[in-house]
Amino acid sequence: MILSTRQIPNIISAARAALVAPIAWLLVHHELPATLLLFLIAAVSDGADGFLAKHYGWQTELGAILDPLADKLLVITLMVALAYLKLLPGWLMAAAVIRDVVIVGGALAYRRWVGPVQMRPTSISKLNTLCQLALVVAVLSREIYSVPPAWCVIALGAIVLVTVTVSGLDYVLTYGRRAL
């Protein structure tokens, strides 16, 4: 099988998804510096695959599914693990998980009863992902290096709650209107 350059963003997304298990394993075994390093690599890869796909016109149908799936897998797994370790409030983790369950469940229902789903991440959804990534980095950095200050982590947590709520409602309203 010959791979074209067009597949590079998909390979990066797949590699990000493949990093989820080692990152989670390192985290639950309290290997926090290694967790942070691999998580930062995965987070940077999220920007890299999107940049390459858009800049060079390498968007594919597979990439439209693989990229957000890798993002959700990474962020949700880390938020669940951080909540399990009591480094993140359980209610914040639950809000993020519920949002993603509603979005995926809604997309499946839409596909079944309305037709193909052409999901494009909205600006608020992209902001939500960025805030969740920043929160994970802040929580890990605070635990390892005692920076940033606790108030910054709390503020980021509040911002994540707002963006989780607003982006979840945005998807529900947007696709609810399209379904009607």
Domain residue spans of the chain: 5-179
Which of left, alpha, beta for 148 (phi over 0: left; psi -120 to 50: alpha)?
beta
How much is the pLDDT for 121?
A: 82
Q: Work out the pLDDT band at 179, boundaries 50, 70, 90.
A: confident
Q: What dotted CATH number matches 5-179?
A: 1.20.120.1760
How much is the pLDDT for 116?
A: 87
pTM of the model: 0.92
* Helix ranges, the chain (H): 8-28, 32-55, 61-84, 90-113, 123-145, 150-179
Which tens digit of pLDDT belongs to each residue from 106-123? 888 888 998 888 777 889
